[in-house]
Chain A
Amino acid sequence: MKPVSAFAQKLSASRTPSPHTSMFLRMLVRAAVLRRGRAAAALFAMVVAAAVATAVLNLYADVQAKLRSEFRNYGANIIVAGKHSSSLPAGALPQVESVLSGRGLAAPFALVVAHTSQGQPVVVAGTDFARVQQLDHWWSVTNWPAASHQALIGVRALAAISPQKQPFDLMFAGRTINLTPVGTVQTGAAEDNRIYISLSDFTAWAGVQPSTIEVAATGTPEEIAATMRELAQALPSAEVRPVRQIVEGEARVLGKTRATLFAASALIVLTAALCVLSTLMGWVLDRRKDFAIMKALGASGRLLSVFFAAEAASLGAVGALIGYVAGIGLAAWIGRINFHASIAPRFSVLPVVIVASIAVTLLASIIPISLLRRVQPAVILRGE
């Protein structure tokens, strides 16, 4: 008796898995194929929800980097200056450049007070125009000087010194330079009162080395602080200080934008989850007749739960995958039209979206099933 039953058990163990599994799969696939309309509606809801969630999560992860690059248009966030308003050592600019190594821009400034031939004092600055053009986007310049002895002149200085844009002389320490104003600069700040010439003209004429290097370092606050430390180490004779209003303003705006976007993302993800929940609950409740028939044919409550859960989970996984791809596209589109830069797809979002989708779909199938399990199949089949 005993060996026979053991044999039977062994037999059933070796035989059952394959037909069971294939029946299970067949039921899953046929359920989706036979009720194309309903399945497509549920899948559509799943895809849209996952796409929207992916897009906002991607945006949320990337928005800081995007806004930070916007803030670099404010110009320098670090000032390197000679201590006690003295000049910086020769070769300071290459040193700053080597510390930055592509993680930012730097522009040197040398300043003296010169006098015109009428004795009018005026601040003259020597700088590198190519660098200033990149660093200070807000300068409203009519024409950048290209040749030697050409000057970029502030709008107020122009009115006081060379109203007809005629060439003029400037004296400093007994030496004279003749300059032709080729363009004007307007900023609404100190630059309007100054005359800018090229650094080579400036040092040849005034013999003064740059006293300030303005640095626009890119990166997170920690990276910028590290850059500042490296600059201070490389140039011990200089004072390195942050442009505090830019650094603080940037931190505030970024923090608040991110917090608001977080709240918005949370709301959107919640709504998307709700959408999936109500669609799927409808889809499962709608199939109570299938449920009743399976139960009447002898399926256990547990098997049915597993069947419906598997169905929901696969719907969730497929929807999440398609939605992820669509969401990446949506985020890239938003990035292009709003920031004119692509938003890199984050693969770390994918597992989050898939796990969350499956969790929501499971929840959406378990609630109606637990309701149905309590009901006799006969009652359902009679349509009551």
Chain B
Amino acid sequence: MFARLVYESFRRQKRRKLLAGAAIALGVTVATAMIAVATDIGDKISRELRTIGANLVVTPQDEALDVDIGGVHLQPPSDSAYLSEADLPKIKGIFWHNNITAFAPMLPANVTVDVPGTGGGKKDATLLGTYFAKQVSYGKQDFITGVRKTHAWWRVSGAWPNDDSSDALIGERLARTLPYRVGDEIILSGHSVRVAGILSTGGAEDDQIVAPLSLAQAILGRPGAVRRIYVSAITKPEDALARRDPRSLTGPMYDRWYCSPYPQSIAYQLQEAIPHSHAEQIRQVAQNEGAVLTKVEGLFFLVTLAALLASALAVSAAMATAIFERRGEVGLMKALGAGKMAVASVFFAEATLLALIGGVAGFAAGSVLARQIGRTIFDSQISVQPVLLPVVLVIAVLVTILGSATAIRGAVSLDPVYALRGEL
């Protein structure tokens, strides 16, 4: 009888059920989309912040003092220790390899540029060897990495050089002092190089020549050598645990430290992966990133709370209206001898059922909405964790029941005589 009452109520009052269900579905849609956006916003903003540059740098362990002013290296190359290019793909083998968005090796070399029209005149310059967009493979996975990803603010007029070519980019300030145009051949310390484009960075590279790593290694006479590696990683804002020294941590604390994507722990893992290396966070990028991320995440957490409040209120308002309209029915049931509990349980069962149906529909719509927000704003997916579904359903049922509770109490305590006569 109970089941039939609920069933018939759904069958015969399609319009009313549809209205209340739509309100629940809309509330759940907004809640789902906002929770998904809020949980993913840190990751998305972190990716955007990668345009500010790499946040980690790997150098040789026993590196001599770097003597450079404005990108001009002043120490003899023999002084320096090097990392091995063969170790680079291992970066993609660390625990947090999915958080490494890109890396770029750097190898500076002092070269002389032949200046034509000066009777064999030469000019000193710094050549920077790097990856532009090189395909690297680790195990079974292939990925493309290089300065085009780590140094997103670099602009080239002309073309980006290919990583296995002997093409190079000339910094725009250096180019102004040289008579070369895009497409010309230049002689760098005896090696012939084609100018593929003019590079503009707003930094030290504007006075340098940037070439594929293999070319710089050939000119320097050190095959496989890398001076430093810039690594872009998606990190979590550091907290008290992040600042602890890993050597002072034990057991589960160490595991938690190691398995959190703090800049410190990713640096530690890079150091483990690359022999004889020292990895460090670039504090200007890493520290401020944490501050910005905390603020943006906090903002969206609070906005999500506001969204949840608004949708909970919308759901309860719709439910209250729906129940208020059915006082006549309550009166009839009570006149036929139903107790308060029996009437209330019919309404609660209906509300729960409605919340479940509306919740599932709203969850689906919210996932689509979140994905749409991700695609239009961030050009990447915001995926909704399936684990969210039960959570959202429980919240939907709770809010619906709480929202209808006052209205149900009012309805069942009504005298059936008045209710049936339509007075109150």
Contact B66 A260 (CB under 8 A): no
Q: Does A2 contact B (CB under 8 A)?
A: no
* Contact partners of A268 in chain B: CB under 8 A: 30, 303, 306-307, 310
Contact A267 B307 (CB under 8 A): yes
Q: Does B286 contact A (CB under 8 A)?
A: yes
Q: Does A305 contact B (CB under 8 A)?
A: no
Contact A139 B310 (CB under 8 A): no
* Chain B interface main SS type: helix
- Choose, from B41-49, B111-119, B218-226, B251-259, the stretch at the interface: B41-49
Q: Does B217 contact A (CB under 8 A)?
A: no
* Chain A interface main SS type: helix
- Choose, from A11-19, A97-105, A247-255, the stretch at the interface: A247-255
* A84 vs B27: C-alpha distance when bound (angstroms): 62
* A207 vs B67: C-alpha distance when bound (angstroms): 20
Q: Does B309 contact A (CB under 8 A)?
A: yes
CB-CB contacts of A31-60 with B at 8 A, as 1s and 0s? 000000000010001001100100110010
CB-CB contacts of A67-110 with B at 8 A, as 1s and 0s? 10011011100010000010000000000000000000000000
Q: Does B240 contact A (CB under 8 A)?
A: no
Contact A139 B283 (CB under 8 A): yes
Contact B324 A59 (CB under 8 A): no
Given A138-B283, A241-B202 in contact, is the A271-B311 Cβ separation under 8 Å?
yes
CB-CB contacts of A176-199 with B at 8 A, as 1s and 0s? 000000000011111001000000
For residue B74, which residue of chain A has the nearest CB?
A113
- Choose, from A126-134, A219-227, A230-238, A278-286, the stretch at the interface: A278-286
Contact A260 B317 (CB under 8 A): no
Contact B317 A67 (CB under 8 A): no
* Contact partners of B37 in chain A: CB under 8 A: 260, 263-264
Contact residue among A71, A85, A188, A334 (Cβ-Cβ distance under 8 Å from B299): A334
Interface size for B (C-beta < 8 A) is: 73
CB-CB contacts of B160-190 with A at 8 A, as 1s and 0s? 0000000000000000000000000000000
Contact A123 B49 (CB under 8 A): no
* A282 vs B69: C-alpha distance when bound (angstroms): 74
Q: Does A314 contact B (CB under 8 A)?
A: no
Contact A285 B377 (CB under 8 A): no
Q: Does B390 contact A (CB under 8 A)?
A: no
For residue B22, which residue of chain A has the nearest CB?
A274
Given A122-B67, A187-B282, A260-B373 in contact, is the A253-B202 Cβ separation under 8 Å?
no
Given A253-B48, A271-B30, A275-B313 in contact, is the A282-B41 Cβ separation under 8 Å?
no
CB-CB contacts of B65-104 with A at 8 A, as 1s and 0s? 1111110001100000000000000000000000000000
- Choose, from B50-58, B123-131, B135-143, B351-359, the stretch at the interface: B50-58
* Contact partners of B296 in chain A: CB under 8 A: 67, 253, 257
Q: Which A residues form the contact surface with B (CB < 8 A)? A: 41, 45, 48-49, 52, 55-56, 59, 63, 66-67, 70-71, 73-75, 79, 85, 111, 113, 120-123, 136-140, 156-157, 160-161, 186-190, 193, 241-246, 248-249, 252-253, 256-257, 259-261, 263-265, 267-268, 270-272, 274-276, 278-279, 281-282, 285-286, 289, 330, 334, 337-339, 382-383
27 contacts between A and B (CB under 8 A): A48-B309, A48-B313, A49-B310, A52-B309, A56-B303, A79-B202, A111-B70, A120-B65, A121-B74, A156-B65, A156-B66, A187-B283, A188-B281, A188-B286, A189-B57, A245-B53, A248-B153, A249-B52, A256-B45, A263-B37, A263-B377, A264-B34, A264-B300, A267-B307, A278-B19, A337-B302, A383-B328
Given A140-B283, A193-B66, A338-B302, output 8 extra A-B contacts at Cβ < 8 Å: A48-B309, A52-B306, A52-B309, A85-B70, A123-B67, A188-B281, A267-B307, A272-B310
